[in-house]
Structure formats: structure tokens, C-alpha cells
Structure 1
Amino acid sequence: MNPRHESTAMATPEFDPAQFLAVAGVGRKLVQVKAGQALFTQGDDANCVFYIQKGRFKITVISNAGKEATITLVGAGEFVGEESIISIPGQRLATATAITSCLVMKIQRLDMIRSLREESQLSDMFTALLLRRSMRTQADLVDHLFNSSEKRLARILLLMAEFGKPDDQETLIPQITQETLAEMIGTTRSRVSFFMNRFRKMGFIDYDGRITVHKTLLNVILHE
């Protein structure tokens, strides 16, 4: 055999982040999570990180007084539980509960740390996703500080519908309660109900148990 051909045949396959996050292997396994089931709970040991392949989770925190608040939603193509890779392992800072049926890749803490150190493509992807999450968190803060509750509701519905894709005219979003929406925008369930009815009358959404969001809902955010 030609030595050059032999060397090529024995070469290590190039690392593929997409395959790493999609196919189970050493330190990684696929986990199905039913709607309403907790992926992890505040106070649990932070011993692994999850990559969401399908579905959506709400992230909630509980105060010392027992009050629960929904702080954000995460969906397909995002990591959750990333606090597990800090230098000193600790506890979960929040609870992740499935809103829909979900499929996630569970990656053990040490295997994730090793892969991030050894594979620059995975590290770049992970960093980019965390930066995007940080930017969204800052936008959420600005939204709470300066926008009305009506605009905050319109924004969260548009985010859930993942608008911004070319030619998207309407999207059916995952089931979510008015109580959860109220927690996320910092208002009452009755105010959410009032705004949802207004959006429906104006043709911005269809709402009959499930919510269909139309692109015209952007008018609430773009106009005073």
C-alpha cells in the first residue's frame, strides 16, 4: 500500500460539533423529557450540561420566601445548565421545566469541559451561544425598565414564535399559560388576558387554547 494512502486512511476524523451534540457517546446520552417534567431543579448538583435538540423549557427560580418566577425560555439549539462547567462544581441556580415534549443531549460535566478544551469548534459554538443568551438577557432588562407591559407581552410572544426568519408570516407557539406569561413580563394574569384579547381583536394573534402569532404583532413594538 502506498504509505501516503495508508496515512490518509488512518487519519483521525475531523471533529464535528453537530454530530457531537446529536449522537450519544462517551459521557453523552439522549434524554426524552415530557411536557411538565423538570429537567433539573434548583438546588440539585450541577454535574452535567444539556443541549436542547427539540422542544422548549421555561427557566424558573424560587425565592427564600417560596415565590416562583419565570425568568426566561430556552429552546432547540441552546444549552441549559451551563453553570455546571465552572471550576468548582456547585448547585443548580434555577429549575428547567419542559413546556413541550423535549429531546436533549445530556453531557457529563468533565466530558464537556474536556471537549471544550480540546475542540475549538465546539468551544467557539458554545461561546457564541452564551454571548447570544447574554445579549438577550440585557435586552430583557431594557424591556422591563423602559417598555409597557403590553409591549413586553408582544415581545415575548414574538420571541417564542422565533420571528426574524425570511417569509415567516405566522407561527403556532408552544402551549404556555397566562400565569407564566405574566411572570415573565412582570404583571398580573388579568392584564395579560386583557392584552391577549386586544391583540386578537386587532388581528395580531389567533388565540383558542393555542396561540398563533402573526407578524403584524410587530406593530405593537414599533409604534407608540
Structure 2
Amino acid sequence: MGRPAKPEFDPKAFLAMVGTGKTVLTMKKNQHVFEQGDVADSVFYLQKGQVKLTVVSEQGKEAVVGILEPGQFFGEGCLNGHPLRIATTTTMEESVITSITKEAMIATLRTEPKFSELFMAYLLTRNSRIEEDLIDQLFNSSEKRLARLLLLLAHFGEEGRSQSILLNISQETLAEMIGTTRSRVSAFMNKFRKLGLISYNGKIEVHNSLLNAVLREKPEIERDDSTSKD
């Protein structure tokens, strides 16, 4: 009799299970996964919850640079030789996170093509998002940056209808993410609501009209150099 066939490798099942070099962490809200300056020796995969990425400048100014959602990796800089963490990661709600040592991550990438494909797809998507964010910061007003951020947080377009942002994200966090002040975010949010672009019902609901306003550059969301300097 021949040897039994090797079970097909399932990357997501692999990431969900404890194993050699892997630990599954259940973390409460507002816990640090790692902090800026910590030794970088593991990669993390978010199974459930939300994680906020923040950086602090030499002058002590803190900025939110991203919000991670299930299915995303983070801390992968250790694979590129970064000895220390360049950001702080904090859970925004109860989260389930897989920690994979650098050695186990490299070994799996080398031996499991499907896992390599999953990780590569993540890297390509992340790099595209970074490029889009850079263009957004360079060429768009803070009002338009907020509109784009709301659309991204709501995963707009996946269902083809109005989407709800399930995360109870504060205006302070939104302001940090687009590089403006909380008062300006508050003014923009009120404007969007009055125009029917978003609505509040315990959470933010984004409507098709917001996407149309951004794509068509309607007067309600347009660049205004006299007011966009923050």
C-alpha cells in the first residue's frame, strides 16, 4: 500500500492553530501587542478584532498610521532585518492574534507555496494602500481625505450598498489618521451628515452618495486651498 496522501495545506487553518513557533493570543481592549522600540522577532496575524498602529516622533507627537482588521499581518518588518519595532500596536477591542516567530515564518514561507501566496497578496495590497495614502496626503484636502478614510473603513463597494462602520472610532483617531484637528473632523462629519452622505445610528453609516461625491468631485467635497491647510 502506498503512503496516505499528505493533507492539503490550508494557510488560514495554519494561522489559527497553536504549533511550533506559533502562539495564539487572546487580548482585551487597549492592550499593546508590541510597543515602539521593542525587539522585533515575530510576525503577527490578526484573526479577530481591530488593532491600531501608532508612532511617536522624537518631539513626542503621536500619530495613528493605520487600523488593522481580521486577515491582516503586522510586525513583518522583522523579516527585512528591522531589529526594533517602529510603531506601537494596540487592540481597539477584544482580539485574537497569532504570533509567529521569525524563524517559523521564514520556514513556512519557504516550504508552503499557498502560505507564500497569501502573504505576498497581503504585501501587495498593503503597498498599494501606502501609495494611495501618500498621494492622498499630497494632493487632497483634509475633507476629501476624511471621506476616503470613511469609505475604506466601511469596506465600501464590497456589497454594493450603504455600509456601516462597525468600529466605534473616535473623531480624535480620525483626525490623527488624516493629519488634521478634531474640530475640523467634527465640522466635516456634520457637513457630510447634513448633505446625506453619512448617517448616525449608534455607528457611522456611509452612503453611496459619499462615494459618488468623491469620484465626481462634486462641490460638496472638493479641494479648497484656503481651508485645507492644517
For normalisation by structure 1, the TM-score amounts to 0.91
Q: Which ranges in structure 2 are unaligned for 5 or more consecutive residues? A: 218-230
Aligned to 2:70: 76
Q: Which ranges in structure 1 are unaligned for 5 or more consecutive residues? A: none
**C-alpha distance in 2 between matches for 1:219 and 1:168:** 12
Tell me how many residue pairs correspond in the alignment. 217
Q: Does the alignment pair 1:159 with 2:152? A: yes
Equivalent residue in structure 2 for 1:55, among 30, 49, 57: 49
Aligned to 1:199: 192
Percentage of matched positions with identical amino acids: 50
Q: Encode CA deviations 1:70-92: one digit per residue, 9 max, x unaligned.
A: 11222111101111222x45010
Q: Which amino acid aligns with 2:188?
A: F
Aligned-residue CA RMSD (Å): 1.6
Aligned to 1:110: 103
Question: Superposed, which structure 2 residues align to 1:76-155 within 5 Å?
Answer: 76-86=70-80, 88=81, 90-155=83-148
Equivalent residue in structure 1 for 2:40, among 46, 50, 53: 46
Q: Which amino acid aligns with 1:177?
A: S
Equivalent residue in structure 2 for 1:187, among 180, 194, 201: 180
Aligned to 1:20: 14
CA contact (8 A) 2:18 2:24 kept: yes
**C-alpha distance in 1 between matches for 2:189 and 2:126:** 27
CA contact (8 A) 1:144 1:152 kept: yes
**C-alpha distance in 2 between matches for 1:184 and 1:42:** 18
CA contact (8 A) 2:164 2:203 kept: no
For normalisation by structure 2, the TM-score amounts to 0.88
State the secondary structure of the residue aligned to 1:77: coil
Q: Taking structure 1 as reference, are residues 20 and 106 closer, same or farther at Cα in structure 2, changes over 3 Å only?
A: same
**C-alpha distance in 1 between matches for 2:117 and 2:24:** 23
